[in-house]
């Protein structure tokens, strides 16, 4: 089966299944040693966020709070 045939088949899947497929493919790439390069923009954003964290560590929202808010918002 060629790539176009696979994509045509995947297009007919529900969105949730397509997202799960992408996650599975990404996880496999990482497990096989793929290390994507960060762009300059990504590096600059990471530096900005680290600087902000160093300046105000108490301003960080714990993951548990972020997750709870996201799940609550998603359920509405």
pLDDT at residue 75 in the model: 85
For 21-37, the pLDDT digits (tens) are 999 999 999 999 999 99
Confidence (pTM): 0.55
Same structural domain for residues 2 and 30? yes
User: Integer distance in angstroms from the first to the last C-alpha of the chain?
Assistant: 41
Per-residue confidence (pLDDT) for residue 27, from 0 to 100:
96
What domain range includes position 47? Answer: 38-76
Q: What is the pLDDT of residues 13-72, one digit of tens each?
A: 999 999 999 999 999 999 999 999 999 999 999 999 999 999 999 999 999 999 999 999
Residue closest to 18 by CA, chosen among 32, 8, 3: 8
Residue 66 structure tokens: 């972020």
Same domain for 43 and 24: no
User: How many domains does one find in the chain?
Assistant: 2
CA distance 17 to 23: 10
Is 52 in contact with 59 (CB distance < 8 Å)?
Answer: yes
């Amino acid at each position: 089966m060629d790539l176009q045939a696979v994509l045509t088949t995947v297009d007919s899947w529900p969105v949730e299944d397509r997202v799960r497929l992408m996650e599975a493919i990404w996880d496999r790439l990482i497990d096989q040693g793929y290390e994507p390069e960060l762009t300059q923009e990504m590096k600059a954003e990471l530096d900005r966020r680290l600087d902000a964290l160093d300046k105000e560590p108490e301003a960080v929202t714990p993951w548990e709070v972020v997750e709870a808010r996201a799940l609550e918002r998603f359920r509405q």
